[in-house]
Amino acid sequence: MIKRSISIATALILFLAIVQAQTNTTNNTRSRANQRARQKVDSTAKQVQPAALPPPVTGSGTGGQITRWAGFNVASSTIVDSGITEDKNGNVGIGTTLPTSKLTVAGMIQMTLGGLKFPDGTIQTTSGAGALISVTHDATLKGNGTAVSALGVTVPLSLSGSLADDGLVKVLNTGLAGTGVIGTGGDTNLDGEIAGYGMRGVGGKTSVEGQSGTGVSGTGGDANDIAFSRGGDGVVGRGGKINGPGFGGIGVVALGGTSTSAAGGTSAGLLAAGGFGEVSSGGIGVSAQGGTGNGAGNAGGDGIVAKAGSGAGGAASGRAGVFNGDVQVTGNLSKGGGSFKIDHPLDPENKYLYHSFVESPDMMNIYNGNVRLDSNGEAIVELPQWFEALNKDFRYSLTALGAPGPNLYIAEEVADNHFKIAGGTPGAKVSWTLTGIRQDAWAKAHRIKVEEEKTELERGHFLHPELFNQPEEKSVEWARHPDLMKRMKQEREQMKQK
């Protein structure tokens, strides 16, 4: 036996050739079998073609998002993420990958059939008026919350609650120098009609002994204690501007409450008390300044106008002003009359005593006294050092006491702040009276006019119209302050009706 060596590569090639020959033999056998099977088919039937394979799918997806077909062609089909997401909690999102409920939709939902069915079995098929009927609210709001009937605040707004020593409404404006509340009253275009209030407050009632609530309470803001500053005003009122014929509005109108009991009494229209000075002077109770006037025939405004309340049913009229304490007037004081009023010296518990002022058309000062004559029947009356600086145009009067003094006379008139009496009985007593007209700087600049024509505005009006059988509208105050007087009268009539 002849041994020959064969390389490994040659052996491998031979092995592959044998396998390929066997494969070809097998395939030929299968082909002949398939041909014999097809020959058995009815020659009239169409030949069945093998099914075509689908094109390959391409694309990718994201976990939790539903996949959708993006398109296909003869070569391939493509898939991408849809807009629907389902998270591990079963929350489904449309248009969002972060659903927060069983169904979260980022966008508008459109229904074309069926409507919405709620847990209580009701079905809503329209968003028209009346469709949303379950928005519950009290009388503070209006509307039903739909597009055609939006929720709003009822007018007038009425808030009702129970908060002891606290407010139902609190407003805080954190803006720099911002206002907490601004109220604007309604306009009017009717003659004689008063436009609406910007703000009106009514205090609470009390049914027991005590005091009812304040209508409006204002507290000014505190000031710091570092720099020299000023605390805020509690209440500031400013009347409205008038741009045509008429009168500007009143800054503050105050009316006292009405009393319906004979055991009580009405309250003050305005109560003001100056601030307490812990280490300083006390504050002013009321500070008033009239407005500036402009134009010929006009005048500046009055600082204070006070009118006494009228009496009805046998009641006496009130007083325009009561001052308990000293009163200082730096200008002229004009009055219809004047007197002092004190408790009667002989019956102080039951009576008053009055004395009238002594009036003069001049700024007259009156001085008097008693003097005893010397051995020559003469006397020198010494006067204060300021006497001649204050007075001029002197008038004298002498009266002998105890016995007639027909020869008494003024031997020397006022000079060097004295005058001399002579012609009397030695040792007799004489009463003297001396008058002078003021000549100080203030008196010279403010002489009192004895007669004065009424201004065009005041003509036809009276200081006391009732004394001339004229209505109150004919008073000078109505001529000067018609709007104020009219408003005060209207308020009085309204108070009587309540």
Shared domain check, 471 and 433 = no
Is the sign of the CA dihedral 392, 397, 398, 401 positive or negative? Answer: negative
- 51/273: higher pLDDT: 273
Burial degree of 398 (CB within 10 A; 0-12, 13-18, 19+)? middle
Residue 479 located in a structural domain: yes
Helix (H, G, I), strand (E, B) or coil at 12: helix
**Is 387's pLDDT higher than 90?**
yes
Report the pLDDT value the prediction gives residue 378, as an integer from 0 to 100. Answer: 97
Shared domain check, 414 and 374 = yes
Report the pLDDT value the prediction gives residue 109, as an integer from 0 to 100. Answer: 84
How far apart, in whole angstroms, are the C-alpha atoms of residue 95 and residue 99?
A: 9
**Is 2's pLDDT higher than 50?**
no
Rounded (5°) CA angle 436-438-442: 175
Write out the two tokens for 237: 């009122």
Shared domain check, 418 and 485 = no
Residue 72 located in a structural domain: yes
Report the pLDDT value the prediction gives residue 407, as an integer from 0 to 100. Answer: 95
Number of domain units in the chain: 3
Contact 144, 153 (CB under 8 A): no
Report the pLDDT value the prediction gives residue 412, as an integer from 0 to 100. Answer: 97
Report the pLDDT value the prediction gives residue 113, as an integer from 0 to 100. Answer: 79
Contact 302, 290 (CB under 8 A): yes
Report the pLDDT value the prediction gives residue 347, as an integer from 0 to 100. Answer: 94
Shared domain check, 469 and 411 = no
Report the pLDDT value the prediction gives residue 244, as an integer from 0 to 100. Answer: 64
Residue finishing a domain among 106, 139, 163: 106
Residue 20 located in a structural domain: no
Contact 389, 417 (CB under 8 A): no
- 484/226: higher pLDDT: 484
- Residue range 263-268: average pLDDT? 59
How far apart, in whole angstroms, are the C-alpha atoms of residue 142 and residue 158?
A: 12
**Is 17's pLDDT higher than 60?**
no
- Residue range 61-80: average pLDDT? 75
Shared domain check, 430 and 376 = yes
Contacts of residues 132-141 at CB distance under 8 Å and 24 or more positions apart, as own/partner, are: none
**Is 438's pLDDT higher than 90?**
yes
Shared domain check, 472 and 441 = no
Contact 43, 55 (CB under 8 A): no
The mean pLDDT value of the chain amounts to 77
Report the pLDDT value the prediction gives residue 202, as an integer from 0 to 100. Answer: 72
**Is 51's pLDDT higher than 70?**
no
**Is 45's pLDDT higher than 60?**
no
DSSP-derived secondary structure for 241-301: P--SSS-PPPS----PPP---TTS-PPPS----PPP-SSSPPPPS----PPPP-STT--PP
**Is 493's pLDDT higher than 70?**
yes
**Is 10's pLDDT higher than 50?**
no
- Residue range 355-380: average pLDDT? 94
**Is 475's pLDDT higher than 80?**
yes
Residue 413 located in a structural domain: yes
Q: How confident is the model at residue 363 (pLDDT cuts 50, 70, 90)?
A: very high
How far apart, in whole angstroms, are the C-alpha atoms of residue 78 and residue 69?
A: 6
Domain range spanning residue 370?
A: 364-445
Q: How confident is the model at residue 223 (pLDDT cuts 50, 70, 90)?
A: low
Residue 212 located in a structural domain: no
CATH code: domain of residue 413: 2.60.40
How far apart, in whole angstroms, are the C-alpha atoms of residue 152 and residue 144?
A: 9
Shared domain check, 480 and 432 = no
- 227/272: higher pLDDT: 272
pLDDT tens for 225-257 read 666 666 677 777 766 766 666 656 666 666 666
Residue finishing a domain among 106, 125, 144: 106
How far apart, in whole angstroms, are the C-alpha atoms of residue 37 and residue 58?
A: 39
pLDDT tens for 326-360 read 888 888 888 888 888 899 999 999 999 999 988 88
How far apart, in whole angstroms, are the C-alpha atoms of residue 286 and residue 330?
A: 17
How far apart, in whole angstroms, are the C-alpha atoms of residue 97 and residue 111?
A: 23
* Residue 89 to residues 85, 98, 106, 239, Cα–Cα distance (Å): 11, 11, 19, 66
**Is 131's pLDDT higher than 60?**
no
DSSP state, 453?
Answer: P
pLDDT tens for 298-313 read 778 788 877 777 777 7
Residue 395 located in a structural domain: yes
Residue 185 located in a structural domain: no
Residue 74 located in a structural domain: yes
pLDDT tens for 451-462 read 999 989 899 999
